[in-house]
Amino acid sequence: MKTEKQYFDEAISLTQHMDKMETHKENSFHIYEQFEVPQDDEFIELLKEKKPNILIITEDWCGDAMMNNPILRRIAEAADLDVRAVYRDADTELIDRHLTNGGRSIPVYLLLGEDGEVEAKWGPRAASIQEYVMEMRKDLPPADAPEYKEKQQEFIKRLTAEYTTKPELWLTVYDDIRKTFLPVLQKQS
């Protein structure tokens, strides 16, 4: 069984992943080009100092990854971090160790310590965005209803539009990543 560090060593960079994207490439780069890391000396400085590796479990068809990965890429660039991506569906052994509520939800960000062990996990969504999405999902008909597929497509289209046009969502993602990783980085001091 491969370790997370072995997956990291074999992974491609987040930049390479985004360059190879097909499904959400334009939207993802739109967010990347628009998002600026907030002035946040403590978080970015600790990332620069500690230089943790971050392993992403992702796929380019994922709407959450479309929004979250460009934000993480900006964080990584600000702190000069090595962030690498593996594809969830290429090897499900890794994602099966990091399930979210029993599901293979992505993206998942694994903050690796100096020893290569997972010190923190983030994803697939910021907590408040998860609540918002679940509230929106309540309007969907049951999965076996004849109109489900059409309504689900409308839901995805609406969510994608919001993910790509609302900078406040991007800041929410940044803040949630910060809230998850910062305490771990502070303990390493």
Q: Where are the domains of the chain?
A: 4-125+167-187
Residue 24 in contact with residue 66, Cβ under 8 Å? yes
pLDDT at 114: 87
162, burial (CB in 10 Å: exposed 0-12, middle 13-18, buried 19+): middle
Select from 65, 105, 113, 115 the least CA-distant residue to 85: 65
Q: pLDDT, tens digit, for every residue of 125-150?
A: 999 999 999 999 998 999 999 999 99
Cβ neighbour number for residue 38 with a 10 Å cutoff? 12
Summary mean pLDDT of the chain: 94
Structure tokens at 131: 């609540």
Please measure the distance between the N-terminal and C-terminal CA atoms of the chain and give it in whole angstroms: 31
Q: pLDDT, tens digit, for every residue of 168-182?
A: 999 999 999 999 999
Kindly tell me if the per-residue pLDDT of 112 is higher than 90: yes
Q: Architecture of domain 4-125+167-187 in CATH?
A: 3-Layer(aba) Sandwich (3.40)
pLDDT at 131: 94
CA 73, CA 81: separation in Å to the nearest integer?
9
Q: pLDDT, tens digit, for every residue of 48-99?
A: 999 999 999 999 999 999 999 999 999 999 999 999 999 999 999 999 999 9
Amino acid at site 41: D
